[in-house]
Amino acid sequence: MATAPTPPVTLVIFGASGDLTRRLLVPAIINLTRSGLVGDDLHILGVGIEPGDDASLVTRLDSFLAGLEEPVLPEKDDAWRRLRERVSYIAGDFTKDEIFLSIKKRLESAHCSNAAFYLAVPPQFFGPIVEKLAEHGLTREVDGCFRRIAIEKPFGTDLASARALNACILGKVAESQVYRLDHFLGKETVQNILTARFANMMIEALWNNNYIDHVQITAAETVDVGTRGKFYDATGALRDMVPNHLFQLLAMIAMEAPNGFGAEAIRTEKSKVLSALRIYTPEEATEHAVRGTYTAGTLNGSNITAFRETKDVSPDSKTETFVATKLYVDTWRWAGVPFYLRTGKAMTARDTEIVVTFRQVPFAQFRETDVKRNLPPNKLVIQVQPDEGLSIEISIKAPGLSVDTVPVSLDFRYADKFDIGKMTGYESLLYDLFIGDQTLFQRADGIEAGWAAVQPFLDIWAKSAERPDPYAPGSMGPASAEDLIRKDGREWHELGVMLHNQTHNKT
């Protein structure tokens, strides 16, 4: 548990007038300030293309925070009142030198020279900003001060571009200065995967292909593409979610025990797993992945516009809004265990979960009875969101004279046990950026290994004239996704089966 306050630092946010800054970064810093982990020696220097000055950025933040469901008002909230005194802004074009000269001047006049540069900008600016920072000496760490760079996703759009971006950045700064974000790693339940695995003998002892039949990793969303048509049509579900968010979950599920809990030991094990993902031939890639696009329909009482009719999406678009794939981690521990991944927009429920399905018992005790027909395999369900928690599905004997087995679920919900409060998920990421802990950030080799594993899918789809399969909003995705797993004699875990409901339902 992190308790030490962060050192003095200036957080320089490129893209300060954007959504991420007001929705996630600033609220997270307010939360850190409230908990005493960030003190009055943190300064925010916003940099953005929109004209304005220090006061106009503060006013913009004020009005956003005042409009939150639980409004944050400077007259009532001590943390925000104190923090807003330390917010400043430089307007300008961050492809030009002037802005970097101004940043330099501000940092020189600051009472400390520690700086974290946060790139909350469109990805085409990542490389050029790092180059300019380096050119102006802003990335040089002198007199014990630190200079760090935090980079949002998407980190590249394929293997070649991710490699090129890494080469560009690492040509200017050391890996130890680079903090590549994947906001899934800021989620409490994701961080808990390592504890669940490595602090519990009964889990880790069964964690291999002798006992595990298969793993499912799902990130289903009910939201549609909405106003993000331009970005999404160029990106698609695979690039948006798989090599980053879903692979981070996969890496934490499949990694070996690290030699220690330091950043390098953990990142090394995660990279080893990602580089063990089987690289498919074009034929295998075709066989092991399906993609879909949602049609028009209704979802939770709202009308959904078909993806291809969404603003800024080409009517001929071949971009997928759903993807499902079967992957293998070619290691001793996981040989032969399929990892089924799926993610999509406008689906039946918001549900990010990992389901580990164990093998069937050998039936010895029940061989000659009817019981064997009613003996579902054990499952460990890690509910990432919403309703964060963990459940274990086991079979028990129903009370009575005959031997009837029924599946029951042993559930743990974070909200039942802890006051988890309203966090943005960026608190631990920013805290770690300030204290210099890279555990929750992606290393260059891990990013490239992830892209290498999805590149065969990108290649076959780029060449294919076929459109993704249609699916109705509010469904579990296209029928082909069911076929992908059914042909192996397995079923997808039902979406939206909340731990909460299970707890209170009689079996």
The site for ligand BG6 (CB under 6 A) is made up of 153, 183, 221, 240, 352
- Least distance from C-beta 221 to ligand BG6, angstroms? 5
- Least distance from C-beta 220 to ligand BG6, angstroms? 10
- Least distance from C-beta 269 to ligand BG6, angstroms? 24
SS3 317: coil
Cα(42)–Cα(105) distance, integer angstroms:
17
Nearer to ligand BG6, 221 or 432 (CB): 221
Which of 181, 291, 299, 160 is closest to 236 using CA atoms?
Answer: 291
Q: What is the DSSP string of 167-187?
A: HHHHTTS-GGGEEE--GGGGS
Nearer to ligand BG6, 132 or 183 (CB): 183
- Least distance from C-beta 231 to ligand BG6, angstroms? 8
CB 382 within 8 A of CB 354: yes
Q: Is 150 exposed, middle or buried (0-12, 13-18, 19+ CB in 10 A)?
A: buried
Nearer to ligand BG6, 153 or 267 (CB): 153
Nearer to ligand BG6, 31 or 352 (CB): 352
- Least distance from C-beta 352 to ligand BG6, angstroms? 6
Query: Which sign does the torsion angle of CA 32, 37, 39, 42 carry?
Result: negative
- Least distance from C-beta 345 to ligand BG6, angstroms? 7
The conformation of residue 347, written as its DSSP 8-state character, comes to B
Residue with the CB atom nearest ligand BG6 in the bound state: 240
CB 414 within 8 A of CB 189: yes
- Least distance from C-beta 54 to ligand BG6, angstroms? 30
Nearer to ligand BG6, 234 or 435 (CB): 234
In sequence order, the 6+-apart residues with CB closer than 8 A to the CB of 267 are 438, 439, 442, 443, 446
In sequence order, the 6+-apart residues with CB closer than 8 A to the CB of 81 are 74, 75
Buried/exposed 2-20: b ≥16 CB within 10 Å, e otherwise? eeebbebbbbbbbbbbbeb
Which of 175, 103, 170, 115 is closest to 145 using CA atoms?
Answer: 115
Nearer to ligand BG6, 232 or 358 (CB): 232
3-state helix, strand, coil in the chain (%, to 5): 40, 20, 40
Within a 10 A sphere around the Cβ of 503, how many other Cβ atoms? Answer: 15
Tokens read off for 49: 């293309």
Within a 10 A sphere around the Cβ of 393, how many other Cβ atoms? Answer: 19
Nearer to ligand BG6, 183 or 493 (CB): 183
Buried/exposed 326-361: b ≥16 CB within 10 Å, e otherwise? bbbbebebbeebbbbbbbbbbbbbebbbbbbbbeee
Tokens read off for 140: 């040089």
What residues are labeled active site?
A: 245
Which of 451, 458, 460 is closest to 165 using CA atoms?
Answer: 451
Nearer to ligand BG6, 52 or 477 (CB): 477
Cα(394)–Cα(377) distance, integer angstroms:
8
Nearer to ligand BG6, 221 or 320 (CB): 221
